[in-house]
Amino acid sequence: MKFGKEFAVQMVQEWQEAYMDYNKLKTMLKDILTFKQKNKPPSTMAAATTETTKELMKQRASLYRAFSGLTNQYKSLSLTLSREDEVILVTSVKEEGAEGGYQTMFLRSGEEGGEFELLFFRRLDDEFNKVLRFYKKKVEEVITEADELSKQMNALIALRIKVDNPVVGGTDMVHLSDHDLSSNSSLVAHPIHDGKHGPTQMDVIQEEETSTEEISGEEMKKADGHSRQDPLNVLDHVKINVELESPVSILRSVIKSSKSDLLFGKQELRTAEEKISQAFVEFYRKLRLLKNYCFLNQLAFSKIMKKYDKVTTRNASNAYLQMVDESYLGSSVEVNKLLEKVEKTYVKHFANGNHRKGMKTLRPQAKKGRHRITFLNGFFSGCSIALIVAIIMNIHDRNYLTSQTQGKERYMVNIFPLYSLFGYIVLHMLMYAGNVYFWKRYRINYSFIFGFKQGTELEYREVLLLSSGLSMLTLAGVISHLDMDMDPRTKSFRTLTELIPLFLLTVVFSITFCPFNIIYRSNRFFLIRCIFHCVCAPLYKVQAIRGVEFYICYYGWGNFRERSSTCGESEIYKIIYIAVAIIPYWIRFIQCVRRLFEEKDTAHGLNGVKYLSTIVAVVCRTIYQDEKTTTWLVFATVTSGIATMANLYWDIVKDWGLLIRNSTNPWLRDKIAVPHKWVYYSAMQVLRIQTVPFLHKTTLVAVVASLEIVRRGIWNFFRLENEHLNNVGKFRAFKSVPLPFCSDYNGDKSR
pLDDT, tens only, 712-740: 889 899 989 988 888 777 767 677 777 87
304/569: higher pLDDT: 304
pLDDT given for residue 295 in this prediction: 94
Average pLDDT, the chain: 75
Burial of 366 (0-12, 13-18, 19+ CB in 10 A): exposed
**What is the pLDDT confidence band of residue 74, given thresholds at 50, 70 and 90?**
very low
Looking at the chain, the number of H-run helices and the number of E-run strands are 29, 5
Give the separation between CA 104 and CA 89, rounded to whole angstroms.
6
Question: 27-36, 536-545, 645-654: lowest mean pLDDT where?
Answer: 536-545
The single-letter DSSP state of residue 740 is: S
Note the pLDDT of residue 750.
42
Provide mean pLDDT across the span 286-308. 93
* Closest of 703, 696, 662, 657 to residue 680, by C-alpha: 657
Q: Choose among 72, 702, 42: nearest CA to 416.
A: 702
CB-based contact 374:464 (threshold 8 Å): no
Helix, strand, coil content of the chain in percent (nearest 5): 70, 5, 25
Q: Over 50: is that where the pLDDT of 751 sits?
A: no
Name beta bridge partners: 743.
Answer: 238, 750
d(C-alpha 473, C-alpha 666), whole Å? 47
pLDDT tens digits, 202-237: 444 444 444 434 434 444 444 444 444 556 666 777
Amino acid identity at 441:
R
- Alpha carbons 131 and 20: distance in angstroms, whole number: 7
Cβ(157)–Cβ(182) below 8 Å = no
According to the model, what pLDDT value does residue 588 have?
A: 84
pLDDT value of residue 643? 87
DSSP letter string over 422-487?
HHHHHHHHHHHHHHHHHHHHTT--HHHHHTPPTTTSPPHHHHHHHHHHHHHHHHHHHHHHHHHHH-
Q: Are 413 and 567 in contact (CB under 8 A)?
A: no
The CA distances from residue 94 to 69, 97, 100, in Å, are 45, 9, 4
Q: What is the largest CA-CA distance in the chain?
A: 116
**Least reliable range by pLDDT among 25-29, 180-184, 438-442, 647-651:** 180-184
pLDDT band, very low/low/confident/very high, at 375 (cuts 50, 70, 90): very high
The secondary structure of 556-612, three-state, reads HCCEHHHCECCHHHCHHHHHHHHHHHHHHHHHHHHHHHHHHHHHCCHHHHHHHHHHH
Strands 748-750 and 741-745, sheet pairing: antiparallel
CB–CB of 623/634 below 8 Å?
Answer: no
| Residues 36-68 pLDDT 10s | 888 765 544 444 444 544 454 444 444 434 434
Domain ranges within the chain, ordered by starting residue: 3-93+115-134+286-328+339-362, 367-568, 570-655, 660-751
Q: What is the mean pLDDT of residues 186-198?
A: 38
Sign of CA dihedral 222, 226, 227, 229: negative
How far is it, in rounded angstroms, from Cα 503 to Cα 120?
70
Question: How many angstroms separate the Cα of 367 from the Cα of each of 9, 10, 370, 371, 437?
Answer: 17, 16, 9, 13, 16
DSSP state of 101: E
- Strand-pair category, 88-93 with 101-106: antiparallel
Contact between 481 and 400 (Cβ < 8 Å)? no
CA–CA dist 704, 625 (Å, integer)? 15
The type of residue at 365 is Q
Cα–Cα distance for residue pair 119/35, rounded to 1 Å: 14
Per-residue pLDDT band for 393 (boundaries 50, 70, 90) equals confident
**pLDDT tier for residue 404 given thresholds of 50, 70 and 90:** low
Strand partners, 749: 744
**pLDDT per position as a tens digit, 226-285:** 444 556 666 777 777 655 455 555 555 555 544 444 456 777 788 888 888 888 898 999
Q: Three-state secondary structure along 275-300?
A: HHHHHHHHHHHHHHHHHHHHHHHHHH
- Provide the H-helix boundaries in 165-211: 173-177, 182-185, 201-211
Q: Which helix (H) or strand (E) holds 377?
A: helix 371-398
- HSE-up (13 A, CA, CB side) for residue 147: 19
